Structure 1
Amino acid sequence: MTPLKSGDPAAAKPPTAQDLISQNRTAAHLLENSGYGGARLAATVLLIRDGPNGIEVWVQERVSSMPNFPGFTVFPGGGVDARDFPVSKTDPATSGLDHSELWVGPPSIQHRAKQLGISPQQVQAIYFAAVRELFEETGTFLAIHGNAAGDHQVLADAGPFHSQRLQLASHEISLTEVLQKHNLRLDSSLLYPWARWVGGSEKGTVFDTFSFLVSQPVGQEPDDATSEVDSSGWFPPQLLLDGWRAGLVRLVIPTWAQLYQLAEYKTVAAALADAREIQAISPVLDDAIADPRYQEFYQISPEVRI
């Protein structure tokens, strides 16, 4: 690297207070966004409903141009970013933005932190990322009106917030700003912690991914109006596993394993009832190679037909 000379404008310009604030926030975010073993935090949502032949889950086939898991069938979700973290009332860079006023329980943030084994700040970021990603990728908005916290009723129509969906997807705004502007709240009781997988993508990025079960909100229907997917839809978990065996569906082990687990349930109510009883979510490591429940995934190599 060529050293800066004294006459170089860049050498003569000291960092401003705003520069230092931004640098500090970036460093703090990178630290907080480190999950198990330094992996990047991420969130996925298993959006489920009762279908005519049993439980169904919403999945998406990612476009071939995606940097991670191209062409694979996945649940809606993605990585946590700086917008998802709670912000300080004393931080001039984020004045007026505060997650604590936007979180409605039970359970409390502290309860979820203990259950998930992460900090309260990370809990808030994980939940905000899950809600944001689900909204960006499917148009399903898990928010309640600020004056309806006691009823825990999610929005029946997310259509009026379509422009905010586009702004979120383009990183123009944060979910915090959307909730504040429209007097909405994030209701943590709508998202049930389900699993935590730590593993890498084909590009080498290691993710610490938290999965949540969510019952399809009454009145809202997911769509595939996103550039990240080729196709999407509702499917019985067992049908997706059968499609994988036939080489028609590409799955990574975390998706395969969660479909395998979800296929055991006949109804949404039964799945959510078991999710409520989970006391602690432990990270699944090494792609669960030694778990006898998932040996089929490693012993069978279906010929890809798509």
Structure 2
Amino acid sequence: MTTLPTNDPAPAVPIRRAASVLILREGAEGFEVFVQHREATMDFAAGMVVYPGGRVDPKDSETAGSGQLDPMITRTHAERWARTSVWDQGEASAQQKAGEILAAALREVFEETGLVLDPGQLFPWANWVTPEGFPRRFDTYFFVAALAADQEPVHQTTEAVRSDWAKPQELFAALERGELKMMRPTQRTLLDAMELGTVQAIIANDAVITAVHPDPRDSHSAHPVRASEIGTPGS
């Protein structure tokens, strides 16, 4: 199965919510990000360099509704996601949805890297929605997380051949040489982090987050986000 859009008419593909986390640390020559190199046999994002993450599942709904997450954090996250589909049913359900996405991010990071992150370590970063025409569609919520000195992720996911720390500049150099592949949301979210330069500046960033509905022709490029791709809540 390909991650490229198809030209054949097909039934509407459901959009599933997902979470993805840019795990960051400050290095001697700038910040580094923890990435996974996915198996070439995967039926989604095969062979791509990605961040730890995955789709929201029923366990995350239970976590969000159980009171395990600090309501101040989920309320803040809901506010940051105000221009995304988190608000497609209004304010009444936005905080629950924000909690589900946060719970998914925490769970996926633990399952794929062994890290137990504090919810307060995760900060909303971006929202990208897979365009029509793809065999799988995701409404993906990206977070950034800075690790404490005693936190170290490991490679423990069967969906990737390896996981490691990488300098963003080296990832893009390898991309230019054709040595790896990254989908546009991965490239764009990393480029935006690079513009800020340091982990501290990235974590402190409070720029408005608006859903991006990318043009499928740009799905594997680092083209800047065009105004026509910016969505509105519920779009």
Question: Paired residue for 1:26?
Answer: none
Pair 1:79-2:55 in alignment:
yes
SS of 1:212 mapped into structure 2: strand
Secondary structure at the counterpart of residue 19 of structure 2: strand
- Contact 1:238/1:260, CA 8 A, preserved across alignment: no
* 1:114 aligned residue: 79
**Equivalents in 1 of 2:45, 2:107: separation in Å?**
20
| 2:233 equivalent to 1:267 | no
Q: Is the 8 A contact 2:129 2:138 kept in 1?
A: yes
The answer to whether the aligner puts 1:282 opposite 2:210 as a matched pair is yes
Deviation per CA, 1:101-134, whole angstroms, max 9, x where unpaired? x112643x23322321312221111000000000
Q: Which residue of 1 aligns with 2:173?
A: 242
CA distance in 1, matches of 2:23, 2:215: 23
How many matched pairs? 201
Instruction: Give a deviation string over 1:52-87, Cα, whole Å, max 9, x none.
Output: 111100000011222210110000001111111037
Partner of 1:209: 140
- TM-score with structure 2 length normalisation? 0.77
2:131/2:215 contact within 8 Å kept:
no
Q: Which runs of 5+ in 2 are unaligned?
A: 1-12, 87-93, 226-235
- Cα distance, 1:273–1:288 mapped onto 2, change above 3 Å: farther
- Are residues 253 and 120 of structure 1, via their aligned partners in 2, closer, same or farther at CA, if it must alter by over 3 Å? same
- Compared with structure 1, are the counterparts of its residues 114 and 265 closer, same or farther at alpha carbon in structure 2 (3 Å cutoff)? closer
Q: Give the letter for the 1:285 counterpart.
A: H
- Equivalent pairs: percent with the same residue? 33
Distance 2:148 2:126 in 1: 21
Asked if the contact 2:115/2:153 (under 8 Å) is kept, the reply is: yes
Q: Deviations over 1:24-79 (max 9, x none)?
A: xxxxxxxxxxxxx9521000000000011111000000112222101100000011
Aligned to 1:137: 112
RCO comparison, higher one (Cα < 8 Å, 6+): 2
CA RMSD of aligned residues (A): 2.6
- Report which of the two has the higher share of helix: 1
Alignment partner of 1:222 out of 149, 153, 172: 153
One-letter code of the match for 2:142? S
- Corresponding residue of 1:192: 123
SS in 2 for 1:269: helix
The TM-score with structure 1 as length reference comes to 0.60
